[in-house]
Amino acid sequence: MSEAPAIPELEAQEARLTLTRFTHEDAWTLGTLLVELARDRRAPVAVDIRRGAQQLFHCALPGSSADNDAWIDRKRRVVERYGESSLLVGARFRAKGKTFEADSRLDPDVYAAHGGSFPLTVEGAGVIGSVTVSGLPQVEDHALVVEALERFTAV
């Protein structure tokens, strides 16, 4: 497994990947970009993009399963609750010598602070949704989302 980025790098990613807007069309563009990246790597992932409670994009690639959808839901709930990436939330607990599962006081069947869900933050509006990938080791799920957001924001 790849080593997770340090907390300052995770925080910098979120600051750098703030959006000026996020529309339904943007969800399609970002989602298809993520699917293309995953297909090129033959990554067996599921991809989910939400704005608030509304699912704007979902795709399950070959090799993914319903378990990936369950992981997406658990990781996404961490982003919704904390307003930060699921990997960053888990890293903050580990930095304190704690575990999210034991110390967050949240049901681990409902919440998972494992990498792969990233907040969609819009300037002036804050966190308006999430983009989540599940199917790879957690650091790779996170890295795939970050790479797609970097490409998306560069356009």
Name the residue type at position 146. V
Q: Residue 100: what pLDDT?
A: 97
Q: Residue 119: what pLDDT?
A: 98
Distance of alpha carbon 6 from alpha carbon 18, whole angstroms: 19
Q: Residue 142: what pLDDT?
A: 98
Q: Output phi, psi for 116, to 5 deg.
A: 140, -15
Q: Residue 3: what pLDDT?
A: 83
**Residue 47 corresponds to which tokens in the numbers above?**
């991809």
Q: What DSSP designation does 109 have?
A: T
Q: Residue 53: what pLDDT?
A: 93
Minimal CA–CA distance to 15: which of 83, 61, 70? Answer: 83
Identify the segments of the chain with pLDDT beneath 70. 1
Strand partners, 55: 50
**Residue 19 corresponds to which tokens in the numbers above?**
């959006």
The answer to whether the predicted template modeling score (pTM) of the entire model surpasses 0.85 is: yes
CB within 8 Å of 79: residues ≥ 6 apart: 85, 86, 117, 118, 119, 127, 130, 132
Q: Residue 148: what pLDDT?
A: 98
What Å distances lie between residue 70 and 54, 73, 135, CA to CA?
Answer: 16, 5, 11
What are the extents of the domains in the chain? 7-154
Q: Domain 7-154 belongs to what topology?
A: Beta-Lactamase (3.30.450)
- Strands (DSSP E) along the chain, which ranges? 46-51, 54-60, 117-122, 126-134
8 Å CB contact between 116 and 86: yes
Residue 96's Cβ-count burial label (10 Å; 0-12, 13-18, 19+) is exposed
Q: Residue 4: what pLDDT?
A: 82
Q: Are strands 54-60 and 46-51 parallel, antiparallel or unpaired?
A: antiparallel
